[in-house]
Amino acid sequence: MAGGFVYNAVDQTEISTSEIYGKALADIILRDPKVVAITADLAKSTKLGDVLKVCPERVINVGIAEQDMFGVAAGMAKAGMIPFLSGFSAFTSMRACDQLHTDICYQNVNAKVIATHAGTSFGQAGSTHHAIVDLAITRAMPNLTVIVPADGFETANAVNAAYENFGPYYIRINRGFDRVLYENMDYGFQVGKAVEVHAGTDITVIACGSCVFQAREAANFLDNADGLKVRVLNMHTIKPIDKEAILKAIQDTRRIITVEDHSVIGGLGSAVAEVMAEAGKGCAFKMLGHQDRFAPIGLHEDIMSEVGIDANGIIDAVREVMGKDFELDDDWDDEV
């Protein structure tokens, strides 16, 4: 970990994930005069408070105008600065989609998008403020690295990595507090490399964002209750996807479940399925996530439960997939 910002477990329980982003960015801004924060009337909501404290002149607010925010960022990056844009995921991916595609990715500028209020983490705001298609959109954009941190520690790591590496980044973080997955920042975060957070050989659950903690909870439970050894991979980088880890999971466990707070169309599940299909290696497979429908209104945890992407949903899915054989015979009826 080369970045200067380090925070501890106490911080993580007392400050939200986006506040950690704000702290990490404030640290970077103090170190590098080329770095600038841009927001579209969401300086407070996206927790740029710490940046405002240390360097208010390098927080540019363009008002409620996401398209403008991306264009301005592209212009600044073209002029040699390193802009960090922050806004709600729903709007950074959809309202400014053309600008993200053309101004940021096509021009391949050194701009970093911090997409907050990811998935259904702003659950009570309803589907206008849910982002369940943003990974499908951003994953398809050339030059863009897409990261979904699982907690505050990982958010700090992702922000530092985005700063240290040239090129456009899309980092998708939740509103409010995330369940704490890691004990500190030093667990070997590396862009494009999945992290195993629970060892196992019976089945692999590949998750991202808030679903990683849930998957580990499920794995712990299944170990105790069913004696199942569930491997849980934190696939924090959606693009470039860690093909090696997926192929190893196919090889070792022959059963894979993906879990994401996103549509099952175009997100993490699709990315894993693509690797699997291209490898030509069959595997029992199930995708958990939003099943091609808009999410209900409610608290994030209630929506996750309803959609089946919390620990209970994952436990049910594991038991279902474990009950189905995968074998190299001529009988296709018993396969998932």
Partner 1 sequence: MYELTKAEWLALEKKAYALRQLTLQTTVWAGSGHLGGGLSILDLLTVLYHKYLRIKVEDPQWEDRDRFILSKGHAAIAYAPVLCDKGFNPMEMLKTFNLSGSKMGMHLDSNKVVGVDASTGSLGHGASIAAGTALAARLMGKDYLTYIATGDGELGEGSNWEGFMTMNHYKLSNCIVFIDRNHCMIDGPTEEVMQLEPLADKMTAFGFHTLVVDGNNIGALCGAIDEAIARSKEPCAPTCVLMDTKKGAGVKSIEGDYLWHYGAIDDTLFEKFNRELEEDYKARCARAEKEGK
Give the interface with partner 1 as residue ranges (CB under 8 A). 33-34, 36, 57-58, 60, 62-63, 65, 67-81, 83, 98-99, 102-103, 106-108
**Residue 173 DSSP SS3:** coil
Minimum distance, C-beta of residue 113 to partner 1, in the bound complex (Å): 14
Minimum distance, C-beta of residue 84 to partner 1, in the bound complex (Å): 13
Cis peptide before 149 (omega within 30 of 0): no
Whichever of 83 and 267 has its CB closer to partner 1, that residue is 83
Integer angstrom CA distances of residue 284 from 207, 246, 318: 16, 13, 11
Residue 102 half-sphere exposure toward CB, CA atoms < 13 A: 8
CA distance 136 to 260: 12
Whichever of 57 and 331 has its CB closer to partner 1, that residue is 57
Minimum distance, C-beta of residue 163 to partner 1, in the bound complex (Å): 17
Minimum distance, C-beta of residue 87 to partner 1, in the bound complex (Å): 13
CA distance 286 to 208: 15
Q: For residue 146, which amino acid is it?
A: V
Minimum distance, C-beta of residue 80 to partner 1, in the bound complex (Å): 6
Whichever of 73 and 235 has its CB closer to partner 1, that residue is 73
CA distance 117 to 300: 10
Whichever of 103 and 202 has its CB closer to partner 1, that residue is 103
Whichever of 34 and 193 has its CB closer to partner 1, that residue is 34
The number of beta carbons lying within 10 Å of the beta carbon of residue 32 is 12
